[in-house]
Chains A and B, each alone.
Chain A
Amino acid sequence: MGKTFSEKVFSGKAGRDVRAGEIVTLEPDYILTHDNTAAILRKLPEIGATRLKYPERAVVVLDHVTPAADSTHAANHKSIREFVADQGIHNFYDVGRGVCHQIMVEEHYAYPGRLILGSDSHTTTAGAVGAFAAGIGRTEAAGIWVTGELWLRCPDTMRIVFRGKLRRFASSKDLALTIIGRIGADGALYRAVEFSCETGDQFSISDRMALCNLAAEMGAKNGYFAPDETVAEFLGETRNEFRHLRSDPDAQYVEELAFNLAEVEPVVAAPHAVDNIHPVGDLAGKRIDQALVGTCTNGRIEDLRSAANVLTGRTVASHVRLLVFPASAKVYRQALEEGIVRTLLDAGAVWMNPGCGPCLGAHEGALAPGEVCISTANRNFKGRMGHPDSEIYLASPATVAASAIKGEIASPEEYF
């Protein structure tokens, strides 16, 4: 019987045949940590260890509460800087470089067939270029630092096939939310999700990142697109040398689902669950206070272009704050070069520094009681962006931009 992508990566790492369901101890190629590095490094003395086994495999990105919101965060950041210098960790990205999951792909840590673990649930994003990437806990990250390895269960695989083409005003975000709406927040629990497009659209790396990012909200262990020509080109390879990583034609899937892209419409995830999906039209007219474009889900240049497309020559409603967080400094620079910075400024947007922003409710735009935010992020849990009595609606960059103009939830369709 053939192997799935996950079985191939696990077998390659284990040096023997590994099948779904088996538990194996593996050495990841990279272990990603962010602001939580401060808490993780404090575990070393508890464990009785002092040095990282492979400092070259650690990637540390300061992104969550950056620049530091107060002296507690500042002290955490300081301890991290001292730690990376002391341990000889060269893969360190200080305040302002970008969101960790963006860095993993942008800086090519994510690479076909690599095993990437991160102490953050959206580590799955790196599956966009054909890495096996999964989130783990903090203590596990400390364990990998000092032992180089971790036990993992090789997941069953669920295949999601796309056919056709997305309409202009619908995006990969709408598609991802539509999938979550159909299968639920636990629809892919413990599983690998293999995305593939059989006809029509060639998903960009950015689209793939959004889908793999949101695989975490399906409960998946990892999400991925098999590495193809688009990936090879993105990595600067002249040929696609990654075909052997594709799932075999006779590989075993636990479930297969198909989506017709032409039927995907702009949707919104309403409070307080990511699988509470509704067509934008059903929520049209809901007054908003804040609109957010950014985060690891939708802070890339493609997303900023999409928002700028809608906002060109228009202005944000006077009662709305539109906050824009580029996913990285690289994205920010590109937006500057393309004139997007100016377009959004003219529309009344507030440009913020690359990073997570208020996504986790700690700073830079946290919500007051009763406030409503429409955001391109990936989670709308109660209280996530600040006060428990605030509301978060999740949508595509185009829908967020359209809603910012109207001052209420609105479909982007009329702006295309």
Chain B
Amino acid sequence: MGRIFKYGDDVNTDVLFPGKHTYTVTDPQEMAQHALEDLDPEFATKVKPGDIIVAGKNFGCGSSREQAVLALKYSGVAAVIAESFARIYYRNCINSALPALALPEAARALNSGDEAEVDLAAGVVRTSRGEYTFAPFPPEVQAILDAGGLIEYLRDRFAK
């Protein structure tokens, strides 16, 4: 199980990955070091593979920058569970194959220090506070997740 890092509402793309780095920091490892730096400067050093971010409403609001998703992914974050997501961020999560689950009940119940794991195939989040189920993704979306992200999905398409 992964550990939970809990944040509030409106976690925006500038705190997820600052705009000033968007054109200059491109190395995955280095990107991971800047994840959430303006909100939780210790996040990058504390996070371990499999950990899960839990937050309130409108997670990922702001810019369309994909680094705001990739910085988390490269940090090893296994999933983001929030009450709701900003729409471009949500799309970017799908395209980077980082599971983004809008589960208001789970998002409110879970706290830092709790543990959880996401079983995508079964559509369930198992946590130290109980289980939360979610509906399957639409086929268009599932195909991208199955391929491992949009790049991989397109690569398959072009290889054919």
Does B46 touch A at the CB level, under 8 Å? no
Asked if A19 is at the interface of the complex by the 8 Å CB criterion, the answer is: no
- Residues on the A chain within 8 Å of B149, using CB: 139
Cβ-defined contact, B63 with A121, below 8 A: yes
Q: Which residue of B lies closest to A69 (CB)?
A: B23
- State whether the Cβ of A136 lies closer than 8 Å to any Cβ in chain B: yes
- A142 to chain B minimum Cβ distance, whole angstroms, is 8
- Taking a contact as CB atoms under 8 Å apart, the answer to whether A46 and B20 are in contact is no
A119: chain B residues at CB < 8 Å are: 64
Q: Are A186 and B57 in contact (CB under 8 A)?
A: yes
Interface of A is mostly: loop
B18 within 8 A of A: yes
Asked if A379 and B66 make an inter-chain contact with CB atoms under 8 angstroms apart, the answer reads no
A360 is contacted by which of B20, B58, B138 (Cβ under 8 Å)? B20
> Do residues B87 and A189 form an inter-chain contact, with CB atoms below 8 A?
yes
A142 to B157, CA, bound (A): 14
Q: How far is the CB of A31 from chain B (nearest CB, A)?
A: 13
Q: Which residue of B lies closest to A191 (CB)?
A: B87
Q: Are B151 and A137 in contact (CB under 8 A)?
A: no
State whether A136 touches B61 (Cβ < 8 A).
Answer: no
> Which residues from A are CB-within-8-Å of B13?
381
Beyond A140-B150, A219-B58, whether A366 also contacts B66 by CB under 8 A is no
Q: How far is the CA of A273 from the CA of B117 in the complex (A)?
A: 31
Q: Cβ of A146 and Cβ of B12 under 8 Å apart?
A: no
Q: Number of residue pairs across A and B with beta carbons under 8 Å?
A: 126
C-alpha spacing A85/B62, complex, angstroms: 32
Given A139-B66, A146-B154, A221-B87; A384-B14 close (CB under 8 Å): yes
Which residues in A have their C-beta under 8 angstroms from that of B151?
43, 46-47, 139, 142
A381/B12 in contact, CB under 8 A: yes
Indicate whether A163 reaches chain B with its CB closer than 8 angstroms: no
Q: How many A residues are at the interface, by size bracket?
A: 35 or more
Q: List the A side residues contacting B57 at CB < 8 Å.
A: 186
Chain A 130-166: CB-based contact to B (< 8 A → 1; otherwise 0): 0000011111101100110001000000000000000
Instruction: Decide yes or no whether A73 CB sits under 8 A from chain B.
Output: yes
Contact (Cβ within 8 A) B158 A49: yes
Residue of B at shortest CB range from A151? Answer: B140
Q: Which residue of A has the minimal Cβ distance to B86?
A: A219
Q: Are A143 and B14 in contact (CB under 8 A)?
A: no
Q: Is B45 part of the binding interface, using a Cβ–Cβ cutoff of 8 Å?
A: no
CB pair B155–A136 under 8 Å, yes or no, is no
A341 located at the interface, meaning its Cβ lies under 8 Å from any Cβ of chain B in the complex: no
Known: A140-B91, A147-B157. A189 touches B58 (CB 8 A): yes
Q: Please, which residues of chain B bring their CB within 8 A of the CB of A360? A: 19-20, 22, 63
CB contact between B15 and one of A135, A136, A383 (< 8 Å): that residue: A383
A388 lies within 8 A of chain B by Cβ: yes
Instruction: Provide the bound-state CA to CA distance between A142 and B138, in Å.
Output: 22
CA–CA, A121 to B66, complex, Å?
A: 11
- B95 on the A face (CB < 8 A): yes
B84: Cβ under 8 A from any A Cβ = yes
Whether B20 pairs with A361 at a CB distance below 8 angstroms is yes
Question: Are B15 and A190 interface neighbours, CB within 8 A?
Answer: no
Encode A366-386 as 1/0 by CB contact (under 8 A) with B: 100000000000010111101
Judging by beta carbons under 8 Å apart, are A49 and B86 in contact?
no
Report, nearest first, the 7 A-B pairs whose CB atoms are least far apart: A186-B58, A381-B14, A360-B19, A137-B92, A151-B140, A48-B158, A47-B154
Question: Which B residues lie at the A interface, using CB under 8 A?
Answer: 10, 12-15, 18-20, 22-24, 26, 38-39, 57-58, 61-66, 84, 86-88, 91-92, 95-96, 138, 140-141, 149-151, 154-155, 157-159
Additional 20 contacts, C-beta under 8 A, given A47-B154, A360-B20: A121-B63, A139-B66, A139-B92, A140-B91, A140-B95, A140-B150, A147-B157, A151-B140, A186-B10, A186-B58, A186-B61, A186-B84, A219-B58, A219-B87, A362-B23, A381-B14, A382-B15, A383-B14, A383-B38, A386-B20
Query: Can you show 21 pairs from A to B with CB atoms below 8 A apart?
Result: A23-B138, A23-B141, A36-B23, A47-B154, A48-B158, A121-B88, A135-B64, A138-B64, A139-B92, A140-B91, A146-B158, A185-B61, A186-B57, A186-B86, A189-B84, A189-B86, A189-B87, A360-B20, A362-B20, A381-B14, A388-B18
